[in-house]
């Protein structure tokens, strides 16, 4: 089993020669590794290979970069509403360039969060939708974006150097 130390270096065994559990950090308990109802070991395997975002070389950092990038968040939010074509996504996400949207979709697809379905027709027709894993990520990102939108008056007040009590200026 591979684990990552504090510097992000991967190792196969601990100093005692035993296979270590994946480093999870001091305040992040390790999830138990159990198979699902069908005996599928993938759940156990995934739990045993949990990432460590605080480790510099951990691959989870790349996933974090893709999911939490400005365009990654917005793509996940739009795709949470259903399947969309590239042009629909571009119209829905104000300010995104064609290049950045294409790159973001490729990242999210390679991470297993977005499914790309290309139809063999003229003109080309490509649909994008969330995978089950992407749905999970979109729910988490939606919670963060909702928090940002609700607390925007407080954040803007803090940026301007004045305090706004919780609940003021929220309009809802």
For residue 24, give Cα distances in angstroms to 5, 53, 75, 123, 150: 10, 9, 29, 48, 31
**Degrees (nearest 5) of the Cα angle 111, 1, 115?**
15
Residue 61 in contact with residue 4, Cβ under 8 Å? no
Kindly report, residue by residue over 42-72, the tens digit of the pLDDT: 555 555 578 999 999 999 999 999 999 999 9
For residue 100, pLDDT beyond 90: yes
pTM of the complete model: 0.66
Nearest residue to 76 (alpha-carbon basis) of 129, 24, 30, 38? 129
Lay out the sheet containing 125-130: strands in order across: 84-85, 125-130, 114-119
Name the residue with higher pLDDT: 84 or 29: 84
Smallest CA-to-CA distance from 75 within 116, 104, 110, 97 is with: 104
Q: Give the C-alpha separation, 142 to 38, whole Å.
A: 31
């Amino acid at each position: 089993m591979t684990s990552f130390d504090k510097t992000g270096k991967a190792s196969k065994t601990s100093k005692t020669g035993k296979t270590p559990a994946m480093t999870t950090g001091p305040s992040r308990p390790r999830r138990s590794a159990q198979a699902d109802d069908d005996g599928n070991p993938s759940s156990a395997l995934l739990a045993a290979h949990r990432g460590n975002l605080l480790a510099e070389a951990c691959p989870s950092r790349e996933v974090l970069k893709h999911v939490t990038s400005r365009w990654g968040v917005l793509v996940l939010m739009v795709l949470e509403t259903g399947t969309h074509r590239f042009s629909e996504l571009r119209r829905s996400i104000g300010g995104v360039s064609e290049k950045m949207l294409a790159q973001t979709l490729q990242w999210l697809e390679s991470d297993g969060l977005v499914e790309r379905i290309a139809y063999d027709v003229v003109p080309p027709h490509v649909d994008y939708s969330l995978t089950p894993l992407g749905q999970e990520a979109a729910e988490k990102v939606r919670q963060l974006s909702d928090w940002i939108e609700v607390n925007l008056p407080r954040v803007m007040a803090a940026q301007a150097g004045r305090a706004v009590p919780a609940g003021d200026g929220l309009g809802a």
